[in-house]
Amino acid sequence: MVVHLLVFLLSCRIQAVGAQMKLSPETLTVLRGEEARFTCSPNTQWTAMVWLLDGTVALTISKLHGVLPSTNTNVTAEKSQISKDSWVFVLKSTERNNQGQVTCDLQDFDRKTASLFVQEKGSVKVFGDNKLAFQGQSVLFECQAVGWYPEPRLQWQVNDRKVSQGEYNISSEESGKSLFTVSSNLSVTAAKSSYVCCLASVSALPTPLKSSVRLTVVAEVVQEGDDCTVPLAVTASLSALLLLLLLCICTVLCYRQRRQAKPSPQAAIWFDQSEVGKRSVAEVTAGEVNLGYSSEGPTDADYNELIMTTHSQKDFASFRKAPDVVHCSSLSVHSESQEEENYKNIKRITTV
């Protein structure tokens, strides 16, 4: 009977002491390199407060002398502003090996334990630059989050709208340092120009890391001021019409230039007749004209002019139907006799 009474009194004393001691927070998650803070609040008389990391003493606090020197320079303690007997244990820069149990031990009274989790933030990247696509075309985007612990949550957004997880795939692998790499592919049907974002996060990260690229649909031109779209087909049609008009103008100008450069039919006739007159004398004599010879009679120019005048008066009406000149001796003699009748003075010709 006495034994049972002693056990009952001891359990009541332990519960009373336990109710008087508090350690907060009970669970803390931080990113690697950040500060971790735990508050131990005893509500009874105590002599020494010992802080332990995974069972190893990290810091000792004396109620009379305060924080005692420690070999661990990464930890410290400071008095709480809430209660005069409360102390805050500070882990200055957390590392992955600090993850585990944090214990506040009140000597000869009680102890409380909390859990510390240390996460690691990596990087996230959408591969490739900004993309162009035709309307209705399927465009593939690839995102990769590297160097995270634990495995990060990967998510896609299109114009700030979350994409359903069933629309993209996710694969993950763990490296030798217990860091995770997560990859994901997303296929987007180009409907309008938009921003495609990939987000990666862990619970200790307040805001997810984001990487984004611009998807431009070439079937439209976005005017941000009025928030309206102008079909590209209209612009292409106007350009084609202007090009066709320019081509027509160039064709007309080239045609007019060629018409101006082409000689008139009458000028061509005079030129042909003058050439025939020049060749007739030389062809009759079967020799060459001595250009150094001169006489008091009419010159070659006068002679050719007279011949052309005579021929034009006789055959003007039918010169278009005249056959080609026949080079024969009889025709040359006959032509020479006719010229002697029409002119009294004929230039002498020297045959070489």
Neighbouring residues of 153: CB distance < 8 A, sequence distance ≥ 6: 200, 201, 202, 208
SS3 call for 177 = coil
Q: From residue 15, how far is each of 21, 79, 106 by CA, in Å?
A: 10, 26, 15
The per-residue pLDDT for 272 is: 53
**Do the beta carbons of residue 171 and residue 183 sit within 8 Å?**
yes
Domain 123-215: CATH class, spelled out:
mainly beta
Give pLDDT tens digits for 127-161: 999 999 999 999 999 999 999 999 999 999 999 99
| Residue owning tokens 């984004």 | 212
Neighbouring residues of 263: CB distance < 8 A, sequence distance ≥ 6: 271
Weakest-pLDDT range from 10-24, 68-82, 289-303, 313-327: 313-327
User: What's the whole-number mean pLDDT along residues 332-341?
Assistant: 43
Q: From residue 238, how far is each of 136, 244, 288 by CA, in Å?
A: 24, 10, 68
The per-residue pLDDT for 224 is: 46
Give pLDDT tens digits for 269-320: 554 555 444 454 445 455 555 555 455 555 554 444 444 544 444 444 443 4
In the chain, CATH 2.60.40.10 sits at: 22-119, 123-215
In the chain, % of residues over pLDDT 90: 48
pTM of the model: 0.55
**Do the beta carbons of residue 47 and residue 63 sit within 8 Å?**
yes
Could you tell me which residue, 99 or 229, shows the higher pLDDT? Answer: 99
Domain at 22-119, CATH homologous superfamily:
Immunoglobulins (2.60.40.10)
User: What's the whole-number mean pLDDT along residues 153-175?
Assistant: 93
Query: How many other CB atoms are there within 10 angstroms of residue 216's CB atom?
Result: 16
Give pLDDT tens digits for 178-194: 899 999 999 999 999 99
